[in-house]
Amino acid sequence: MILSKKRYIQGFGIIVVALGMVRCVFPEVASSRSPKAALPTSVDTFLASRQPVDTIVAQSQIVTDSLPLAFTRFFKSDGTPVKNRILSVPHFGNTFPDQNDVQLLSAQRWGVKPVANRTDAEARKTELVYVGSNPYFYVDNLNNSVPYLVPRASALLQEIGRNFFDSLQIKGIPLHKIIVTSVLRSKADVTKLRGRNQNATENSCHLYGTTFDVCYNRYKTVQTADQPRREVRNDSLKWVLSEVLRDMRQSNRCWIKYEVHQGCFHITVR
């Protein structure tokens, strides 16, 4: 045991001597690889060297505020509102040309069996959903139809109203609701309409609950007594609505016919 301790001590001494020789030959080995910054000599010097807290908070606030704005469609990265131009569509008739025979194929595919009268429509509520005025659109007084659509068409109408709101917002136009003038029609409604409406066909798409009409010459202003909105020309609103409907049609969401005499867009879900 004593001999082993002596050998251990001798070996340790040899290592120490060897390290000392290396340090003498290469003195930079013992120097620091990352020079330390000089420490302040007093508390006052330390505080003076720090960046003001107000400056740090202001810089962080700028970064924080700019992050969400850069990822929205309503504001630019500098915080100013995005305002897009009103472009409309080149020609309403050419942009929305879908005649009844084209829309009828989708109506028969997605719709319900045509209802005979109002009583029959009330009995078909398991297949239809109620369509009433809400934050995105206004339902006009319905004299020749009942407020029901198939769920697929109801979702389409809701999305059109919401997209119209978005378009008005990014164009800097006060909010207005679209007005729905016709939805589900019974066979009795169609028979009555055919006597005075040249566009009311016997096999109307409205019979299937897949079709609705949105007028383009009237809109519902979103305002209160405390927050009145400035008036906007109906033509301007029509141009914005036409952009929304064109995008929906190009996305294969619906068929659309521009009705000249009835002053509406005739829309069937696809």
List, for residues 149-178, the tens digit of each pLDDT value.
Answer: 999 999 999 999 999 999 999 998 999 999
Q: What φ, ψ does residue 238 adopt, rounded to 5°? A: -65, -40
| Nearest to 256, CA basis, from 207, 210, 196 | 210
In this predicted structure, the answer to whether residue 36 has a pLDDT above a threshold of 50 is no
pLDDT band per the 50, 70, 90 thresholds, residue 267: very high
- Which residue, of 82, 114, 133, is where some domain finishes? 82
The more confidently predicted of residues 268 and 24 is 268
Same domain as 118, residue 167: yes
Same domain as 185, residue 145: yes
- Which residue, of 28, 52, 82, is where some domain finishes? 82
Q: Name the token pair of 119.
A: 């009583």
Average pLDDT over residues 228-244: 91
pLDDT band per the 50, 70, 90 thresholds, residue 24: low
Which of 29-38, 66-75, 105-114: highest mean pLDDT?
105-114
In this predicted structure, the answer to whether residue 210 has a pLDDT above a threshold of 70 is yes
Same domain as 206, residue 124: yes
Q: What is the pLDDT of residue 10?
A: 59
Same domain as 160, residue 117: yes
Same domain as 144, residue 254: yes
Distance CA 239, CA 226 (A): 28
List, for residues 2-21, the tens digit of each pLDDT value.
Answer: 445 555 555 556 665 566 66
CATH of the domain at 195: 3.30.1380
pTM: 0.69
- 184: buried, middle or exposed (CB in 10 Å: 19+, 13-18, 0-12)? buried
Q: What is the pLDDT of residue 125?
A: 85
Same domain as 208, residue 166: yes
Q: What is the pLDDT of residue 48?
A: 54
Average pLDDT over residues 51-58: 47
CB 82 within 8 A of CB 74: yes
In a domain, 87, yes or no: no
Distance CA 223, CA 16 (A): 89
Average pLDDT over residues 83-109: 92
Q: To the nearest whole percent, how much of the chain has pLDDT over 90?
A: 51
In a domain, 56, yes or no: yes
Distance CA 23, CA 124 (A): 96
Give residue 66's domain range.
Answer: 1-82
Q: What is the pLDDT of residue 157?
A: 98
List, for residues 179-208, the tens digit of each pLDDT value.
Answer: 999 999 999 999 888 777 665 678 899 999
Instruction: Please state the domain count of the chain.
Output: 2
Q: What is the mean pLDDT of the chain?
A: 81
